[in-house]
Amino acid sequence: MRLTICYLYASGMNIYGDRGNVLTLIQRCRWRGIDVRLIERGVGERSPLNDIDLFVAGGGQDRDQIAVSRDLQDGTGAALIEAVENGAVLLAICGTYQLLGQYFRTGSGEVLPGIGMFDAWTVAGSRRFIGDVIVRVRLEDREVELVGFENHSGQTFLGPGTRPLGQVLIGAGNNGTDGCEGAVHRNAFGSYLHGPLLPKNPDFADHLLRLALRHRYRDDVPLAPLDDRIELAARAAMIARIRQRGRVRSGVRA
């Protein structure tokens, strides 16, 4: 079996180790004997996107988002929308997530156009949301708690055409007010969670791989289970620690 993964905008959009999402996907494929072809595509590069099963993009500063926004407007965005409409999988974190909505209005008032893949818009707020996040997400037939780290001033709001990735249990998520985190359209996922997200949440990584294999083979392909006991124990410990800290902060327990 094989998959083609495209890592978009690696040089500008890779904060808090977001590249770890790509490394996790590749390693989890390798452990299962799935060949991965990795294509890196930066601003201005024009390699074709029609054979990609899974796109990954990270977060970045407002100034790096300007170049990415322009590149998305210049054909890449249309190609991404076409790929996602054909069932390709996409994971976009924070800065790139913001540009997949309709627009991002930065702190200096500049409006960076998005591609409208998500029915969403983002406006820079006066405070930054920084800290650990726990999000309840439905993956196939079960609920899981994802853990990650957020650092953004942009506040994202979803319109009726896009559903959130999950509900925030601790942290701010999309905007700190409506309890939503991330966005989902077909197999495209936007999220504010760095961490990086996928090494901390192997079940979400496998969810993306299952969808990507379905895209490649147009059928359900069984994914061999891996021994994730260490990863899952680390996540459980992190969730317990974040909850404990939350309780201390809110004064429930000193």
Query: Which residues are catalytically annotated?
Result: 94, 194
Residues of span 85-114 touching ligand GLN by CB under 6 A: 94-95
Instruction: Kindly indicate which of the ranges 28-36, 60-68, 195-203, 225-233 contains the residues binding ligand GLN, using the contact rule CB under 6 A.
Output: 60-68
Which is nearer to ligand GLN, 88 or 112 (by Cβ)?
112
Instruction: Kindly indicate which of the ranges 57-65, 200-208, 224-232, 238-246 contains the residues binding ligand GLN, using the contact rule CB under 6 A.
Output: 57-65
Question: Judged by CB under 6 A, does residue 66 bind ligand GLN?
Answer: no
Which is nearer to ligand GLN, 27 or 151 (by Cβ)?
151
Which is nearer to ligand GLN, 11 or 61 (by Cβ)?
61
Compute how many other C-beta atoms are within 10 angstroms of the C-beta atom of residue 119: 16
Q: In DSSP terms, which residues pair with 56 in a beta bridge? A: 7, 91
Look at strands 120-139 and 166-170 and give their pairing.
antiparallel
Task: Indicate which single residue of 12, 59, 164, 166 sits in contact with ligand GLN (rule: CB under 6 A).
Answer: 59
Question: Judged by CB under 6 A, does residue 200 bind ligand GLN?
Answer: no
Which residues are at the interface with ligand GLN (CB under 6 A)?
15, 59-62, 94-95, 151-154
